[in-house]
Amino acid sequence: MADLFEKCSKGTSARAREAMLSGWYPYFKAIESGADTEVVINKKKMIMIGSNNYLGLTQDERVKQAAVRAIEKFGSGCTGSRFLNGTLALHEELEERLADFMQREAVLVFSTGFQSNQGTISTIVGRRDLVVGDNENHASIVDGTRLAFGRSLKYRHNDMKDLDKVLSLNRKPEHGVLIVSDGVFSMGGDIVDLPGLIQVAEKHQARVMIDDAHSIGVLGDHGRGTGEHFGLEDKIDLVMGTFSKSFASIGGYIAGDEDVVHYIKHTSRALIFSASPPPAAVATVITALDILQKEPERRERLWSNYHKMKQGFQELGFNTGNSQTPIIPIIIGDDDRTFGFWRRLFEEGIFSNPIISPAVPPGQSLIRTSYMATHTDKELNFVLEKFEQIGKELNLI
C-alpha cells in the first residue's frame, strides 16, 4: 500500500538535508537585523544584494513611524477578511491612492502579491476561456492558471511569434482570452516585449494582464511600471503589483476598469476567504507611495547603481544574461558550481541568492543579484572586488 508521506524523505527534501549536513545549504538564512543594504547573519555583517527592496524604504524612518501610528490607532490586525469585518478606512484610502497613481478606474488590495495573481486569474478565466502565459512567468501566475476552470497554455519566453502561433492554433470564437506576462522577469531581470505582446493581443482580440511586481517604482518616468515604460498603459487591461518590493511592506493589488475590479472583489475566493492586510502593512505602503512620488531621485540613484553593477560584472567577464533592470543574474550553468560560488560569497560577507531548476531552465543555474537605491559606492565596489576575487579563484572568469 502506498504511503502518502513516502515522498517526504526523497527527492528535493533529501537533497536539502544533504546540503544542510555538508554546510552547503543556502536557504532560510535567519537575518538578525532590519532589511537594509547591510544585514546581520550569525552576528556577522553582510552586504545584501539579494533583496527586492529597490527603493531602500524598509528602514526609512517615515515608513516605520507610519506603521507605529497605524498600530496605535487600529491595533495589530483586522481579525477577518476584507469581505466581512476586515476592511478599514485605511484599506480604502490606499486603494483610492493607488488608483490615482496608476491612472486606473479602480484598485483592489489583496493580502499578498501571490494572492493578487492567483485570485485574479482563477476568477476571471472561466470554463469557456483560454489563458496563455509566458513560459517563465512567476509561480503565482502559474498557480492562478491551474486553479482557473478554463484551458491554460504557455508560449516560449518573450517570443511573440510563438505566442501568435499558440493563439492561432487554439483560439476559438467562443473563447474569451487572457494573455498574462511578468513585466520584469524575476530571475533574469529582462523586460517583456510589451509592444509585440500588445500587437498579438489585438490581432486575436485578447485581454492583457501584466504582473508588475518588479516594475512598480522601478520602470517608467513616474514608476508606474512596464506600461508607462513603453507608453502603452492604455493597452493593458489589468496590472498587478506587490507591496513587498518598492513599497517596503507586504500585500498586493490589481488595477483595472471598475466593473472588472468590482467583479473580482465579489467573486475571488483568495480575497473573500483570506484575512485582510494588517494596519501597519497598509500604512507603510501609503507612506512609501508618498515618497515614491515626491522623491524621483531615488529611482535615478537605483538606475545609476544598476548601470554601475551591470557594466562592472560584464567587464569582469561574467554572463549577465539579458538583464535590463536592477535584477542582474550571474549565470553559471552548473548547480554545484553555483552553490560553490554562493558559499564563497557568503563566507566573504555577501548575501546573494543561488537559483537552480525549476526556478530557471536546466543548465541555467545562476546567482541572482539585485540592487537598491540606497546601496553606496563603497558597498558596490566591495561586491565587485569579491566577485572578481572568487570568480578567478573558482575559474569562472
78 CB contacts (<8 Å, ≥6 apart)?
85, 86, 87, 88, 275, 276, 277, 278, 279
- Please tell me the distance from the alpha carbon of residue 352 to that of residue 245, in angstroms, as a whole number: 16
The conformational region for residue 223 under phi > 0 = left, psi -120 to 50 = alpha, else beta, is: left
18 CB contacts (<8 Å, ≥6 apart)?
none
32 CB contacts (<8 Å, ≥6 apart)?
39, 40, 41, 42, 43
| 26, 255 contact by CB (below 8 A) | no
- Please tell me the distance from the alpha carbon of residue 122 to that of residue 268, in angstroms, as a whole number: 8
Q: CB count, 10 Å around CB of 170?
A: 14
DSSP states of 54-113: TT--TT-HHHHHHHHHHHHHH-S---SBTTTT---HHHHHHHHHHHHHHT-SEEEEESSH
Instruction: Decide: helix, strand or coil at residue 21.
Output: helix
Backbone phi, psi, residue 183, to 5°: -80, -55
Exposed/middle/buried for 172, CB within 10 Å: 0-12, 13-18, 19+?
exposed
Helices (H), the chain: 11-22, 61-74, 89-102, 113-124, 139-147, 160-170, 194-203, 226-230, 258-265, 269-272, 279-294, 297-316, 335-347, 377-393
Q: Within 13 Å of residue 42, how many CA atoms lie on the same side as its CB?
A: 6
Catalytic site positions = 186, 214, 245
